[in-house]
Chains A and B, each alone.
Chain A
Amino acid sequence: MHPAFSVIFLTTLIGAGQGLFLALFTGQIFSQFKMMPAQHDVNFFIWGSALAILLLCVGLLASFFHLGHPERAWRTATKWRTSWLSREVIALPAAIVTIAAYGAAHYFGWTAPIFTMPGGTGIDATLLLGLAATVATYALFICTGMIYGCIKFLQEWHTPLTVINFILLGTASGFTVATALSAYLQTGLVSFYANWAILFTVAALIFRIASMVRNRNINPKSDLRSAIGINHNNIRQMAQGSMGGSFNTREYFHGKSKSFVKSIKYIFLVLAFLIPILFLVLSLNNPAYFIPLIAVAVQYVGLIAERWYFFADANHPQNLYYQQIS
């Protein structure tokens, strides 16, 4: 497939935004359920929510550049019964709204317990809204992943690993952002978030490698024989019906050399995983905020490369019909 930067920015930015929210809420849960010292830094949750919303909105904006008719985008919410893309269009604003409500609850200090859990933990509006936003966030992760995962012809994508990778990569980058934000705001949560970010980045690396191993051994279901229905071992295309290329040659081929694609693979393995892990480990014992900030920047560039590779790696069966111009 031809990697479109609008979609690359959409998926990486909203992934980081979702991950950042999950990081905020994880921090709050740990604090509220007394699994770590209670956090009273409201600023962190407010700025964190604002940043998560910003990432989601910029991602949403990027997605409009993918559309031929963005003015008709409102129509996309109508077919949620059958289309994962339509579901994503519902889940994305839902995530933005619930995260905004979560941030607002912190801003307005709605922290008076609504009811008390048997263990004595007070459940307040921020927790309930955070729970709603978590549901929306995971729904969005699943929708985004399933947009690619549900197309059975794209065998490289048609695996649960696609959804898992979207969740893990988004969560990892979001926790890295949370590490940098907490270091910048000096909340004392730096090592907490850095540890989680390292954990998620390692997990994402494991599952990304798993998907690459799977895709390396993939056995294409279609070949030229089934494509044109002629059962012969030696079929060669002579003409594809156009001389100057077509939508079919532009949309489904990345047009780069094998070595270029391979180098992108190594680049994203280093930038999205190894270097961020290194800087996150450094930030465990160093309060300087620029260290996790470097991790954020490098990881984001790495994730752009990762998403580029994700698209370039997928081989569409229609390509069988477009092997040779003439």
Chain B
Amino acid sequence: MTQLALVIDLNVCVGCHACVTSCKEWNTSGEAGPMVDKYAYGENPTGTFFNRVQSFEIGTYPQTETVHFPKSCLHCEEPPCVPVCPTGASYKREEDGIVLVDYDKCIGCKYCSWACPYGAREIDEKQRVMKKCTLCVDRIYDEALPVSERKPACVMSCPTSARLFGDVHDENSEVSKAIRERAGYQLMPEWGTKPANHYLPRRKTEIKIHKDELERVDNPLSKEERLRHNEPGKGPSLDDMSNW
């Protein structure tokens, strides 16, 4: 069974919000209609986004580290938002595990958003229906696009390749490998929602350089020694080497 998901590498995310803007651009232009933006040029702009980048400071100043944390629907394998929907507008696709909202069936009661511990769902105050990340379901299967572009807009736009996209149930996929080998983890595992999206932790990549690696203490191949014989006039000259 396929379960498409994102794997987000917190080690390389720089918090540039490119995924946020490209997500909004793609999805607001999609067939589901625009995502509301209120007071876009006012004092307190607000609107519906499928994806947000948040920033957290870890540690105590000055020993701090800033972690940029992109957050969107995690497409849980046990989505708590789906069974509570009274109309069946909220559903999880059998074929690829994407959790979607049928905007034509949604009554805008917001109950599904209460049942999501991650706050991944946001109501569209103009269309008055619940919206959330679709994993760009209208992009990833679009055969009019080149195969390399059949990925969610956020993945396409990420300048540091912090976002990977693929089938987490396929053991050989790029995402499964990343989760397996780079300690991928799920958010709030305590609720048993089994989020499909995973995060890769920050890693310290320190290079330990020993002094003997900077200064050569021996000469195992005796290269310099051989060169030392190459005093002017003794060694082979350029003319000896090349056949003009």
Partner-B contacts on A (CB < 8 A): 1, 66-70, 72-73, 75-79, 82-86, 89, 147, 150-154, 221-222, 224, 226-230, 232, 234-248, 251-252, 316-319, 321-322
Contact = CB atoms under 8 A, between A and B. Distances in A.
B59 interface: yes
A73 B107 contact: yes
B146 interface: no
B30 interface: no
Contact of B191 (A89, A153, A237): A153
A118 B188 CA distance: 59
A82 B84 contact: yes
B53 interface: yes
A77 to B, nearest CB: 8
B71 interface: yes
Contacts of A78: 86-88
Contacts of B45: 242-244
Closest 8 CB pairs of A and B: A68-B108, A68-B128, A318-B119, A241-B52, A244-B44, A86-B86, A82-B83, A76-B86
Interface residues of B, number: 64
25 contacts: A67-B108, A67-B109, A83-B111, A85-B111, A147-B111, A221-B190, A221-B191, A222-B190, A226-B188, A227-B187, A228-B56, A228-B199, A232-B59, A235-B56, A236-B56, A237-B55, A237-B57, A239-B55, A244-B45, A248-B119, A248-B122, A317-B117, A317-B118, A317-B188, A319-B119
Contact of A251 (B46, B83, B113, B185): B113
A234 B60 contact: yes
Interface of B: 17, 20, 39, 42-49, 52-60, 66-67, 69, 71, 80, 82-89, 105-111, 113-119, 121-123, 125, 127-129, 185-191, 199, 201-202
Contact of A89 (B42, B43, B86, B202): B86
Contact of A318 (B108, B118, B128): B118
Given A226-B189, A232-B59, A318-B118, A241 B84 contact: no
Contacts of B53: 239, 241
B43 A244 contact: yes
A71 B204 CA distance: 55
A275 B108 CA distance: 38
B84 A152 contact: no
Contact of A241 (B71, B83, B85): B71
B46 A244 contact: yes
A157 to B, nearest CB: 10
Contacts of A245: 44, 46
Contacts of A319: 119
Given A68-B123, A154-B114, A247-B122, A229 B80 contact: no
A145 B202 CA distance: 43
Given A153-B115, A222-B188, A83 B83 contact: yes
A222 B191 contact: yes
B130 to A, nearest CB: 8
A72 B87 CA distance: 9
A66 B123 CA distance: 13
Contacts of B128: 68-69
Contacts of B54: 237, 239-241, 321
Contact of A321 (B47, B86, B119): B119
A247 B123 contact: yes
B44 A83 contact: no
Nearest to B38: A244
A247 B113 contact: yes
B55 A151 contact: no
Contact of A230 (B39, B48, B186, B201): B201
A224 B71 CA distance: 14
A206 B133 CA distance: 44
Given A83-B85, A239-B54, A316-B114, 9 more contacts: A66-B110, A72-B87, A82-B83, A89-B86, A153-B117, A222-B188, A236-B58, A238-B56, A251-B123
Contacts of B88: 75, 78-79
A248 B69 CA distance: 16
A76 B107 contact: yes
A86 B129 CA distance: 17
A237 B55 CA distance: 6
B184 to A, nearest CB: 10
Contacts of A147: 111
Contacts of B125: 247
Contacts of B44: 243-245
